[in-house]
Chain A
Amino acid sequence: MKTISSRRDFLKRTGLAGGGLVIGLNFLESCVKEVVNIPVTASPMITLENGFEAKGALDLTDFLQIKPDGNVFVSLTKYEMGQGVSTGLSSILAEELEADWEKINIRYIKSSVSESDITGGSTSTLLHWDLLRKAGAFAKYLLIEAAAKEWSVYKDECYAENNHVYLRGSDVQLEYGQLVEKVIVPDDYRSLFEQVPLKYRSKFKLIGKSLKSKIIPDMVTGRHPFSIDVQLPGMKYAAVLRCPVFKGKLLRFDASEALKISGVEKVVQIEGVLLDEATHIRDGVAVIANSTWAAFQGKQAVTAEWDLGENAKIEHEKFVADCHEQLANAKGTEILRIGKKIAEDELDNIISYTYEFPYQHHACMEPLNATSHFRGDSCEMWVGTQSADKIIANIEKHLGMPRENIRINCHPSGGGFGLRYSSEYAVESLLVSKAAGGDLVKMCYTREDDIKFDYLNPFELNKHTIGIKEGKPISWDFKNVMANWGGLLGWMYYDIPNCSGTQVKAEAFTQTGAWRSVMANAEGFSTECFIDEVASELNRDPLEFRLSLLPRNKMVDFKHSYQCNINRLRGALELVAQKAQWGKPMPENTGQGIAVYPYMHGNGYGAVVAEVSTANDEIKVTKITTAIDCGLVINPDQVRQQMEGGVIWALSAIFYGGTEYVNGVVQRSNFHDNPVFRIHEIPEIEVHICENDETQPWGVGEIAGPPTYAAVCNAIFATTGKRIRKLPITKKLSELA
């Protein structure tokens, strides 16, 4: 029997303020501590590309704390970057705990010793749904037992509600805070955790409601704790002059002018590290100063000579031409095969088009930054990240520091969108601290650094070919050329009897990474533009044609984490068509376009109808109607937020995306030459959430983008007769290719 005294011992040792009931979480069964260890398997599905497998391990000794004053502190098991996990995840726990929502408080985790989790793929809620429910119900169970013991009654006579335990049929009650010191954790707590009864959906009070965000009040007062705002005693500021070409080398540098700048203290060399094939800390020169401004000035004053290497010879146009050549001739790797290969002479007609999705910049509003303290055989870091796990693994691998000695203070981020899934900026800040002789340094990218050294969405070509017989598509082949990151998804949700898919990996000359909706961007864009073209060539209505290829009650196995549920996909498509009044008469110079796409990383389904106007030679998106099936809805307003944001994200990519390389150097530098949508450019946006029978929540954050690209391009076709097969596009109709 674990007693309070042993818990108090623990609390004394960890110095956890406030006391009360503390429940730790450990995803690794092998690591048993005196605290309540709750083994849970919640493996993130993304395999890290640098050879470190994410085990979904999360060691949180203060995962849940209920203090004697009744306040409940929940440590986030996922990283907050604007997608709303602080509120969404804590509401799931609060639901089962029967906590007073007003007494729920959020903690950002300090990640150390064990691996922490990663955040990506629209999986936070779906992966931690079960864990958070069990944790809340488990704590509630312990509190009810404590109350029953206190009152010398059976626990069935007690129930929990609104942060209290009540004795049925009486006025007797105790607040959670009054019970926390009386809790006794039984020996069989592990099986109790696994078997603890959970609430029926019909009894939910918080889940399904648009609860207000726990963190917005701090955001509107400037108090939200971004890592860029970290201020620590003795902290210096750093900026790094990096090699402008991926994999180039520093030959020599001259710091004499930089050192004359007031506030500049040191100028040190940073030796690049290849973290993995696609992730690279570049050779550079770091300027350490007493303010960010002085560090930025000093960086400008450093002169450096580089061996730019092979990548400086790359011309973007040649790279694109090479990709097209490979698309035409390279054999590639087969990633999809359904049915058989159909000979061309068996077909009445073949329709085939190629679609180009460009490099895309993240341009998160908070420029990349991290604060690091190198202490020889240990270190501490303050950073906004999507993967402390990768940071820890890379420090261990490349700096030879045991992971027990690495402490990462995880801050909420000013946007992640996949960029903060890379770890190079974090590890780089530690290299700066090391090179500066162990100074505690806050390293901040300038916006120009943030754009030029971005981990871009990879350039992709997708060629789709459909074979028609007797007016029906009977074969579909697609072939993809992509550089560096990810791979062809090949999610074939349309019911075509014979399908094949091939991927060709192109030789990359730059750094690429995860970018909101990842590979579904290019594949969603191309697949849904293509099916629209086929519908049009067969004189079919785009909605009716899609629905005819989406048979009811079908589950399609993509050999992915989840099966594609065609009913849910259809549901989103039918709802958006109804809400947007698909097919309604449209005035001159306007048109509607439609698209649907499953996002299987998160098993969420999205559909979009776009309305476009081309009056006065300007292509203008006037309205976007969206529908989403994200399973059981935790917080409808947060779903709407994510859909609105995803639509605007996609619109920026359609009109302003891409990047330009000259001699291997990114030419864009800041918001003047890498524009994104501004408030006066946005259309009216409607979000509709599908009713469904799912018993758990699914992904939300990356659902809107893929169908938005295609719906807008299809609407442009409906308005102008011009097909878009390459992004970005101009806003001037007369300049449209």
Chain B
Amino acid sequence: MIRLTINGKHYDSEVDPNMPLLWALRDLLGLTGTKFGCGIAQCGACTVLLEGSAVRSCSIPVQSCIDKDIQTIEGVEKSSYRFLQEAWIEEQVPQCGYCQSGQIMSAIGLLKNNPSPTDEEILNAMSGNICRCGTYPRILKAIRSAVEKVPKNDSV
């Protein structure tokens, strides 16, 4: 029995400890917002936050996630990062939408470590996430606009 803590909730599951977190989330726990794209950490569709850092869940076995804080797209709506989803809606970013869970989780990972990134830092942080519909110009715009709207902690 393995216990995972996802979006602040405990999940106990009989799972092969070598199973990548992605498949445990999707097939065993029913959290299908995290997407399968490549299986080799090349496309970013499966991005989640592990202890606050953006990681590719397709390439991390569940045993490495025990006792760690896992955040998935399902938890963002009720988090302090809801403003990113709103920016995504405002800029009408998604087309097919498949990569967008991963895009948003990568963006959160970026902003957690760097609340006011430059364009170059945004492009750098987001270059691991592939979008085949070509929503990149709008992803950049959405992150820019979200960053502008967020009250900066250091200015308080």
Stretch of A359-367, A395-403, A433-441 at the chain-chain interface: A359-367
List residues of A (621-672) whose CB comes within 8 Å of B's CBs. Answer: 637, 641-642, 644-649, 670-672
- Given known A-B contacts A82-B133, A680-B127, A414 and B96 have beta carbons under 8 A apart: yes
Contact indicator A216/B20 (Cβ below 8 Å) = no
- CB-CB under 8 A from A680, the residues of chain B are 123-124, 126-127
Contact indicator A262/B16 (Cβ below 8 Å) = yes
- A70 CA to B52 CA in the complex, in Å? 43
- CB-CB under 8 A from B95, the residues of chain A are 82-84, 641-642, 645
B31: nearest chain-A partner, CB-CB = A222
- CB-CB under 8 A from A237, the residues of chain B are 27
A87: nearest chain-B partner, CB-CB = B92
- A676 CA to B77 CA in the complex, in Å? 30
- CB-CB under 8 A from A210, the residues of chain B are 92
- CB-CB under 8 A from B40, the residues of chain A are 447, 670-672
Specify which of B32, B38, B85, B126 is in contact with A229 (CB 8 Å cutoff). B32
Please list 12 pairs of residues, one from A and one from B, whose beta carbons are closer than 8 Å in the complex, sorted by A's number.
A82-B95, A82-B96, A216-B89, A226-B98, A228-B35, A293-B16, A365-B45, A415-B96, A447-B40, A645-B95, A670-B39, A679-B140
Q: Mark B17-46, 1 if CB is under 8 A from A, else 0.
A: 001100100111010111111111011010
Q: Mark B117-135, 1 if CB is under 8 A from A, else 0.
A: 0000001101111111111
Residue A318 is within 8 A (CB to CB) of chain B in the complex: no
Contact indicator A216/B96 (Cβ below 8 Å) = no
- Given known A-B contacts A645-B135, A672-B40, A224 and B140 have beta carbons under 8 A apart: no
Contact indicator A231/B32 (Cβ below 8 Å) = yes
Majority secondary structure of chain B interface residues (helix, strand, loop or mixed)? loop
- CB-CB under 8 A from B35, the residues of chain A are 226, 228, 365-366, 414
> Which of under 10, 10 to 19, 20 to 34, or 35 or more describes the interface residues of B?
35 or more
Contact indicator B137/A216 (Cβ below 8 Å) = no
A414: nearest chain-B partner, CB-CB = B98
- Count chain A CB atoms within 10 A of each CB in B20, B100, B140 and give the residue with the most: B100
- Given known A-B contacts A291-B23, A291-B28, A415 and B98 have beta carbons under 8 A apart: yes
Residue A736 is within 8 A (CB to CB) of chain B in the complex: no
Residue B76 is within 8 A (CB to CB) of chain A in the complex: yes
- CB-CB under 8 A from A682, the residues of chain B are 134, 136-137
Shortest beta-carbon distance, A348 to chain B, in Å? 44
Contact indicator A215/B32 (Cβ below 8 Å) = no
A363: nearest chain-B partner, CB-CB = B132
Task: Tell me how many residue pairs across A and B have CB atoms closer than 8 Å.
Answer: 173
- A216 CA to B27 CA in the complex, in Å? 24
Shortest beta-carbon distance, A440 to chain B, in Å? 14
Shortest beta-carbon distance, A108 to chain B, in Å? 14
- Given known A-B contacts A216-B93, A217-B89, A671 and B127 have beta carbons under 8 A apart: no
- CB-CB under 8 A from B98, the residues of chain A are 82, 226, 364-366, 414-415
Contact indicator A671/B92 (Cβ below 8 Å) = no
- CB-CB under 8 A from B134, the residues of chain A are 644-649, 677, 682
- CB-CB under 8 A from B26, the residues of chain A are 229, 292
- Given known A-B contacts A83-B95, A229-B32, A676-B132, A212 and B42 have beta carbons under 8 A apart: no
- CB-CB under 8 A from A220, the residues of chain B are 85, 88-89, 93-94, 100, 104
Residue B99 is within 8 A (CB to CB) of chain A in the complex: yes
- CB-CB under 8 A from B23, the residues of chain A are 291-293
Contact indicator B36/A221 (Cβ below 8 Å) = no
- CB-CB under 8 A from A217, the residues of chain B are 89
- A352 CA to B47 CA in the complex, in Å? 50
Residue B148 is within 8 A (CB to CB) of chain A in the complex: no
List residues of A (223-241) whose CB comes within 8 Å of B's CBs. Answer: 223-224, 226, 228-229, 231, 237
Q: Mark B59-94, 1 if CB is under 8 A from A, else 0.
A: 000000000000011101100000001001100111
Residue B49 is within 8 A (CB to CB) of chain A in the complex: no
Specify which of A82, A648, A679 is in contact with B123 (CB 8 Å cutoff). A679
